[in-house]
Amino acid sequence: MKSQTEEGVGVASSDASLTDVENRLLEISRSGRDDLRHVIGYQVGGRRRRVRPRLTLLCHQFAADGAEKGRSRAIEAATAMEMIHVGTLYHDDVVDQAPSRHGRGSVNQLWGNEMAILAGDYIILHAIELVARLGQEEACLAARAGREMCRGMVTETAGRHRLDRTAESYFEVIGEKTAALLSLCCELGTMQATKDPATRAALARFGWHFGMAYQLVDDVLDLTASSVQLGKPVGKDLLEGIFTLPVIRALQRDGAVREHLAAPLCEEAVDNIRRMVINSGAVEETLAIAEQHLCDAADAVRRLGRSPEQAGPLIDFARETIMPDGELRRCALSLRP
């Protein structure tokens, strides 16, 4: 699903394949009838950071050990992963009634909700077709990840404004709505280079832990970053009644947070709650959990026994894609009274 932590860190050895993915996305965005092409090309063919295709290609590169085996198939898998992500963004913006994304008008703002939903469906189904061409097993894995993403979003939506939301429920939701797709990226990329079940399982675990850290940091940014940094309003989750881990922890520690969240929220109230959550220490706790997931992701790769030169690009990508915690803590400290 959507995320603030889209840093797009590159690795030189996968740049050529990423260029091929960009060309493939551009080709897809320019195909079809005019009425559809404009809506699809607005996001699919635009400049994005491509975290998911990069992850897919890096896992293929790792599993292929520098060989060209399955490269064209990995490019198709990476293209499909980006398309699934973009398709969900079209849907997200309708659900959120978002007027903009990354500093320009959202698809629903420009073409309306109906067109945004239909275009999102089209992009996702096109992606599933690409995956199905890779094989039945790949198609089943993609369908399962898609089901998990929907299930996570349904659970999150049903639990809005619940002051009794638990950390366990939160972890379950982000595992489904975010980590499932990133794990799929890793597994599909790996499958195009090797059939070894241990390598597949290890890189799928890597992707899952990376996805958990990714969403944890994303939820911290919604509380600590500025609207300029994010390119959209901050505190959006609070306004929508989505209580993420820092808020859940603060609710457990500070009765004043509960009182504020139980009342109708305005922009000023959201700013106050953000400061209260930060002052509770919940942000630092959340970042520590994200850090542990990054360590677990690295361990999943290292246990395969590859050299540091082989494992380094994946491990570095995971850490560098997520904003360094020093910067996150500086954002948080800037909001302290």
- Per-residue pLDDT reduced to its tens digit, 34-72: 888 888 888 776 667 899 999 999 999 999 987 888 999
Closest-CA residue to 138 (of 304, 146, 175):
146
Domain count, the chain: 1
In a domain, 5, yes or no: no
**pTM, two decimal places:** 0.90
Helix (H, G, I), strand (E, B), or coil: what is residue 256?
helix
91-95, 135-139, 155-159: range with lowest mean pLDDT? 91-95
Q: How far apart are CA 29 and CA 20, in angstroms?
A: 14
In a domain, 3, yes or no: no
The pLDDT of residue 277 is above 90: yes
Q: How far apart are CA 59 and CA 41, in angstroms?
A: 27
Q: What is the DSSP string of 258-314?
A: HHHHHSPP-HHHHHHHHHHHHHTTHHHHHHHHHHHHHHHHHHHHHTT---HHHHHHH
In a domain, 6, yes or no: no
Residue 324 confidence class, pLDDT cut points 50, 70, 90: low
Task: Give the helix, strand, coil percentages of the chain, each rounded to 5.
Answer: 75, 0, 25
In a domain, 304, yes or no: yes
222 versus 225: which is more confidently predicted?
222
pLDDT per residue as tens digits for the range 74-120 = 999 999 999 999 999 899 888 877 777 777 788 888 888 998 899 99
Helix (H, G, I), strand (E, B), or coil: what is residue 332?
helix
In a domain, 241, yes or no: yes
The answer to whether 121 and 86 have CB atoms below 8 angstroms apart is no
Residue 3: the pLDDT is 52
Q: How far apart are CA 182 and CA 85, in angstroms?
A: 10
Q: How far apart are CA 211 and CA 104, in angstroms?
A: 26
The pLDDT of residue 10 is above 50: no
Residue 333 confidence class, pLDDT cut points 50, 70, 90: very low
Residue 39: the pLDDT is 86
* 111 Ramachandran zone, left/alpha/beta (phi>0; psi -120 to 50): alpha
In a domain, 216, yes or no: yes
The answer to whether 275 and 335 have CB atoms below 8 angstroms apart is yes
Share of residues in the chain with pLDDT > 70 (%): 88
Q: How far apart are CA 27 and CA 174, in angstroms?
A: 32
* 95 Ramachandran zone, left/alpha/beta (phi>0; psi -120 to 50): alpha
The pLDDT of residue 266 is above 70: yes
Residues 6 or more apart in contact with residue 76 via CB below 8 angstroms: 24, 130, 133, 134
30-34, 163-167, 228-232: range with lowest mean pLDDT? 228-232
In a domain, 305, yes or no: yes
Q: Which domain holds residue 58?
A: 12-334
CB neighbourhood size of 242 (10 A): 20
The pLDDT of residue 12 is above 50: no
324 versus 49: which is more confidently predicted?
49
In a domain, 7, yes or no: no
State the CATH number of the domain containing residue 236: 1.10.600.10
104 phi and psi angles, rounded to 5 deg: -140, 165
